[in-house]
Each structure stands twice: as structure tokens, then as C-alpha cells.
A and B are shown apart, each in its own frame.
Chain A
Amino acid sequence: MSEPKKIKIALAGNPNCGKTSLFNELTGLRQKVGNFPGVTVDKKTGIFFLPNKTEAFVVDLPGTYSIYPRRVDEMITFEVLANLDNDSRPDVIVLLADASNLKRNLLFCTQVIDMGIPTVIALNMIDVAEKNNIRIDVAKLEEELGVPVIPMNAREGKGVDKLLNLLSSEVAKPKRSFIDLQKLCGDAKELSNKIPYSNEYIATLLAVLHKELNHFQAEKHKLIEEWVAAKKFVVARFQGEEVLQRYNSINRVVNNCVNEEQKENKSLENTSRIDKILLHPLWGYLIFLGVFFLVFQAIFAWAQYPMDLISLVFSSVGNYIHNLLPSGIINDLLIQGLWSGIGGVVVFIPQIMLLFGFITILEDTGYMARVSFLMDKLMRIVGLGGKSAVPLISGMACAIPAIMSTRNIESWKDRIITIMVVPFMSCSARLPVYTLLVSFAVPSQPVLGIFNMRGMWMLALYLFGFIAAIFASFIMKLIIKTKEKGIFLMELPIYRFPRWGNIGVTMFEKAMVFVTDAGKIIVAISVVLWFLASYGPGDEIKNIDKKFVDTSFNSKYNTQELDAIKQSEKLAHSYVGHIGHFIEPAIAPLGFDWKIGISLITAFAAREVFVGTIATIYSVGSTSDMDMKKLRERMHNEINAQTGKKVFSFATVVSLMIFFALAMQCMSTIAVVRRETKSWKWPMIQLFFMTGLAYLASFITYQLLK
């Protein structure tokens, strides 16, 4: 027996059977997230060493209840296991089964065993089974299934060393079969002989699913079509009868190996008891609101402290290096372009880590499934499912982590729609914009004694975003077509304590994915925006520098005021300034002049940049309270040179509010949508849909109000 230096292992099993625990237990932090080719499914891989020094390369396959996929991610599991003439073919499959719920888990297990690939079963959650008086005769189970079976408690790492020892020696191919293929569809041998690495069962699986495979050669399709026609193979009948045959075999196995005392199942009884409270018509929703208020508070308010710290560190370090290096274009590019672009990426990490910390706790404990259960009917009114509730709520703090959290939505269509509508929710970056505009245009007067007019306007803007999201959801539902059948079958796992290690790993992983994948795009766009705002055609910028060196005209201003005027003139003469003039005819019907145009372009980096840009344009040094008052005065006094009317009329300001509520003014959202959908198609549709809608709505608003 020759020992391979490297082996490839695939982890497979039902959802909720502890696959992630085992994967983390095996690889620790030596894991990375990549792509399965051609689909939007994350591929989690890792490396670890077996006791005999063999390097094991492990891939975590998406959890599935059956080899027949319901969704894109489940398709991957089939593709990796059945499409065997490629490099990702595993040498060994580690198949997880939930010992406390063996019967249902064995359906998928026997399907995988029948594929004839060397397989080890990790009989996980053995502790839960024992606690509930489910006794499993492991030796008997090994004999019945014809593959090695290792009892395991992956949460506590029990049984993992046994698994590693077993993997050190060569695992034999399974020999038993749990269905009578001859009876189901006749001879499949002639077909399997022509397909490398397959066996008869794999051949029939390919006959069922070959049309949906991404990478499958045309000649094989033809082979299969011929066989299907010759055997009069009917897919649905085959699948139905296969499942029936399997359960016959499984019932026999379970009767021989599992001794379940007819006592009550403690875990399920406890879970039912907790459900009585958490799914209660009143308490259930109150607790839900409480939990999500906490989550919202965390990403909206608590995250602000580390975010401020990150901004401070980045600007201090940037300033320090800026002064250290010789001044010039390279220095500016490095510090003002690249370094602050990187800072703009890192600043999202606290929100992402906090949200995923909470989400992982909620999933680990089993509460997340209850949230879907509670919210499903409500969310279906707006055309989505229960799992879209969490991203939409999180979107009110920030769309970036919210869009990343749509990963939990299984239905592809629901997921895409959720991604498309989340940015309409009023995020925290809109707050400074709304604050400036509302405090400018709306008098601070009491309404009904207890409310303030400005507060009412803010609330109305938040509601407007929410209504826009629902509206967009209806539109998207009509546009987006899918092959998926909308079947909602969801396991409600038993309540358990969260695994803190797992939470830490997820938080770290999500932050890394964002920084490495979305980060590149954000840095690239911010460098471009920086360049456009800092440089201009010809000598225009240089001339401004020269003008301000000459001190003769500046007697009536102090240095600070002078610097503010200089920055304002520079911006006006930069490329962005020119673009502002260029787009003025297009945005004039919305009530915007070229200066507002400049702010709309720079605010593409992030909405709150609007306030800073307006401050620069109107030569206000900072965005402190004192300066904000000055800014409001200058905005108030601004006169349009052509019309002689006020630039910031009521109609223009309301039009701006509407524009910021609807437009896709956030490059980080675009980057993260591109990362989550693995294509430029969706972020581009989103950009044009949102900004188009914003243009239209602002146009109508301004024309009605002016």
C-alpha cells in the first residue's frame, strides 16, 4: 500500500449536522474562501495534516438533504461528487450524519455511498443522541452501511482524532448498494462504462441532472440522451421510486442498529418549550424586535467608536507619512489617494464583524430559523421570504454588511431581490445628508406639542426609503426569472448554545472576504475619484496655487479662510468641477446647479461625502457645528448667476433629499454586490435602476414644487 503525500477530502452532509464545526476543528484558521467556477457559491477550503504527515486538502461542500439539488449551492455538491473527471475530484468523502436524527440523514448518506467513492461516515452529535436515549450500535451500522463509521461530537472535538487516524490509512471503496438499479431503470452499465470514473448510480444521476451541469461535454450529453431514449427513462418516476426504495433499506438499517427508547426526546421537548415563548404571537414578535433592536444598535451606534478610531488612525498616520516624504504627485497619490482609499475599506470592518457576530450567534443557537418562521408570512406580502428580514433590517444601518448577510437566503431569486432592494433602506450614511438638508429647509417648530417638524421630516425620509424598497421588490419580482421552484421546507434545529470559536472564525472570515474581494474595487474607485477632484486640465490648478502665493489680495482674510477659499477654487477647477459644469444641463430640471453636480459625483464614494464637498465648495473649513451654521448661511445666500434666483430653494432641497433617498450613491455597495453576485451585471442593473429612479423622482418633485 503506497501512501499518498497529499489527499483531497470533501466534507458533505445535511444542513445543521455540524459540518462547519468539523471543518473549523480540522482546519482552524488555515481556511480560505474562493469560488466554485461559474456560480455564486462560496467554496470553503482548508489544509491540515494527518498523523502520518500527509497533507490533506479539504473542501466544505454546501449542506444538502439529497443528492438531487433544490438550489444552486446544492448543485455544487452533486457536481463535485459526480463530475469526476476533473481536478476537484475527492479521494475520500467525509460524510456527516446527525446521530440524533439518523433516518433522514441516511437518505443522503446512502446516495453518496452508492456513488462508490471511498467514504467515511462521521456520526456527529452523538452526545445529543445519547442524551435523548437514542442508542446506536456503531459496529452494526458499519456492517450495514459497508463504510467506516466514527462516532463524533464535533463541537467539542471528540472523535476527530479517530477520524484523522482513519484517514491516514487508505479508505476502501464502499461495496454495498441500497437500491436495486436494475429494477428502477434497467441496465445502466453500458452508460457508466462510457463515462470515466462513474459507476451505474452516478450514470443514472447524470441522466437525471446532466442538463443542469455547468461543465459537461457535448458528447456526454448526447450519450446520455441516447440512453434516456432507449430506456424510456422518466426522471420524476425514477426519483420517486428511488427515494421509496432507499427508505425501505434505511428502515431496515435503523431497525437493526438504532435502539430508541420510547421515552420523551428531551432536546425536542426543551425546544418545543422554548418555541412556546419565542414563537408566541405577542412575546415572539416582541423578543424579535428586542433582538434586532440590539443588532441594529450595535451596527448603527456601537460600531461608530471603532470606526472613528480607524478613521483617526488612518488620517494621523497618513498625515505623518505625508509630511515625512518629499511632497509631490507620488506622495499625494500614495497618501490622499491610495492610503485614504484603504482607510475607506477598513472602516467597514467593525460593522461587518459585529453584524456577523450576531448573525452567527443567532444561527448557532437555532433562533435564526425561528426568525424566518415568524417573518415568512409578513415578508411574502412584499414578495420575499422570511430570510430577507434580517438583511433588510441591517440595511437601515449599512447596506454593506446587510448585503453580505443575504448569503443565508437559499432561494436565488429571493437573494437577488433582497440585494437589489437593501440599498433603498435609509442607511446611516444618509443621516448627515438628511440632517444638513432638513435643518436647512425645515423650520424647527413643534408639531402636536410633542413632536418636532424636523423630526417628522426625518421619519418621513426613512419611511420613504422603506416604501421605495417594497416598490423595488415588486418590480424586481416581475423582472427576475428563475428556474427554481419556490418550495419552503425548513428544518427548525433544536436550540443549542453558541460555539464561541465558530463565531470568531466567521467574523474574521467575513472581514477578510470583504477586504480582499470588495476592497480592491473600493480602493480603485476612490483613487479615481481622488484624482478627478484633485487635478484639472492644463495649468488651472497650478495657477490657483500661484494666485494664493501672491499675498497682495488676501489682506481681508485670515489664513484659515484663505485656505478654505483656495480649496473651493481648486475643486471648482478640477476635473470634477468641469464634469459638474458638463452635467449641469442634465441636472438642471432637477433643480441642481453645477456645484451640486460636483457634490453628487464625489458623493458616489459614499453619501456622507456630500456634506464635506458642499462645505468645501462654499469655502467652509470644516463640518463642525459652527461651520455648519456658516454653511447653511452661505447656502441660503447662494444665487444662481443665470436666473438670479436662490440656488437652494425649497424645491431644490426636497428634490435633493429624494435623490439621496433613491440614488445608488455608494461605491462600496457596488463593490460588495459585485462580490456577492460574482458578476458586474447585478451591480450595474442596480446602479442604473436606482439612479434612474432617483432622477425621475427628483425631476417630478422639483417640477411640482418649484
Chain B
Amino acid sequence: MRAAPSPEEIRRHNLGTLLRHVHLSGPASRAALAERMGLNRSTIMALTSDLTAAGLVTEELPKTTRKAGRPSLVVRPESDRVFVLALDLGADRLVVARVGLGGTVLDRADVARPRDSFDADEIISALAATGRRLVRQAGADAVCVGVGVAFSGIVRQEDGVVRHGPNIGWVDVPLGAELTRRMALGLRVSVGNDANLAALAERARGAGSGLDDIIYLHGDVGIGGGVIVGGRLLGGEGGYGGEVGHMVVNPGGRPCGCGSRGCLESEAGELALIALAGRAGQGETGRRAVEIIVDAADRGDATARDALHQVGDWLGYGVANLINIFNPSMVIFGGVMREIYMGSAAQVRSRLAVDGLTAAREGVRLRTSALGEEATLMGAAELAFSDVLTDPLETLARVRATD
């Protein structure tokens, strides 16, 4: 039997919980925090004064008061002074951003990538240099409390090794360790799968806010997935679970980057849509290409319309399978899947009406990402914030010591 938690552990837990509240829900009065956390006001006061002393939050009088009596101080996160670096590494984007406590993007830089080159060494160097530059620009009184990377591929979370990056050709690249070494910020760089992180971000502050069972589909070049069941991200034994893009929906169908055929991403992803619409090799890729195809279909282009119908149909099979297996309360379409879903919703939902089990699909809502293009970046930021939200004072003391 486990011993009861010590007062020290309880205090640490409460500090983390309080900081998480203002981080995710924004500034709140002490009274509101007391109510939400179920603690009394004197405990809240002790916690906020600890956090204020550490420079993580500030307290101020509310701007306007409508009620009589002494106003309750408003606790707000120190967004400008406490920040993390969030990195988003996908097949068509390299972004480094400085994200403040509370989730505001303070500064962002799109890193140029040498054309058609996915050389790991060059990319890691470029990212590290940009990261260091952003930290330098942050000013002397600001402190970086973590670094998180969203990577579009299969990642071993405990040491940040990229096992497989299907669309950029990386195999067993020690991304986390290399970035840690080259950034030399005295902070361990955490790496996660982009769709998993985006799923968590959508649950924390996006469309899936407050829901415990959601499935997030992220369209990059392929389709990534994040499955949250009972409030927890489904990882499996090695943490590689949730790769819904490689669920086979059409045996013997189009070849997929993973070596198989007829995977969801090869039938319903961006590349399939572009190929079916006969627009492969015409320059435009990604969101722009999908928009052009949807627009053409709206104007009566039969090829574009058929392509969207076909892709929507396969996507519908995939979503119906997922809903039958997981019975989620929400399926969120993010990245370029947002455009694909909005352009083929009639097919997706028709397929769901036919192939989804009535009981499983009864309550499900299909939504597009509320964080939009920032979903993966915000996911990386949340990953980077996880240390300071677990143990605020200890983490801050450690970071300050290495400065």
C-alpha cells in the first residue's frame, strides 16, 4: 500500500494545478480559483504568493468591479517573462516559436529548408540556431522553461528518437538528443508525434475542450492520428499507437509511403486527392492545392468533384471504423484534413450513416480544429510546459540555476 502523500507533495500538486488553471483558462480571480479547485481562499493565497515570488504569475486588482465588497485579486500568468520554445517539424513546414505561459505565441520564425533536402544534420542545425536566436531576443528578464518538438512521424517519446519519418525519409534519428546538445540551453528537448500533441492541444484549449474521448486526424502530407480515450492519449506498448492513417481501408489500393497498400492516408489524404483530380506535379501542394480542387468542384469541374467524392468516401470508411471501435464523442479534422473534410463532408457523413453502428455514432460530433494551423505548434508548447506545470518551483529553480 502506498503511503499517504506528504504535505510537500500536496503543495507541489496544488501549485501545479493552480498554474495549469491560469495557463489554460486565462486570468482568474482568487475567488474563482478557490471555487474551481475546491480549496479555501487562504490556501489559494499561499499558493499564489509562492507562484508570484517565483515570477510565474502576477496578481492585480480587477479592472472593473460590479459587486460590492473587497474585490478578489486576479491571478494572471506571466506570459511575457515565462516562455517555452515550440518547434513544429513537418514535411512542408519548419517552425520555431516562443510561446508564453498562458499559450500566447510571442514570436515565431519559419525556418527555410534547403530545397528537396531533408538532411537531418542541416535541419537540426537550422532549428537549433533559430531556437537560440529566439531565446536571445527574449530579453534578460525572460526565462525559457522548456523546449518541445512536434514531429510528423513515429517518435520514441522517452528519449526523443525519431524511429521513422515516412514523408521525410528519416530512420532512427536522435532528434531530441541532438537538439538538446546544439541548443545548449541546459534544457532537455522533448519530442512527440505531431498528431498526438495536436490532439492533446485541441483537448486542452481547442474544439475538444472538456471532452475525454476524442479522435484527432491531422493531415500533413499523410494523415496522422491522436486517439484520446478516457482522458488519456492512447499510446500502446511503445507509445507508437494511434497511427490511424495507416489503417487499411482499401485492400490492394493505392501504394502508401509505409510500404503497404490502401492505407487511409494513401486513399483519403492530400496526395490521393491531388492525383485523382489529375493535378499531380502542377506545383501547388498542401492546403492551397486542396482549396483549388474544392473551388474547381464548386464551379462544376467534374474531375475535381469526382475526386472529392472518392476521397470523401474513403475518409468516411476510415472515420466509421474509428467510431465503431472507439465510440468517441468528437472527431476533429485538423491540418489539411480540415479542407478535405469540409470539401467532402456529404460523402464522409453519408458513409458514416451507412457503415457506422447506430449506437456508436449517435452522439459523435464531427468538428474542424479550433486551433487551426497552430494545433501542432501549440501541442509542442504544451509538451514543453509539462515540467513547469508538474512542479513549478523546482523547475524554475533548476532553469534559473543553469542561466
Do A and B interact with each other, yes or no? no
Chain B positions near chain A (C-beta within 8 angstroms): none
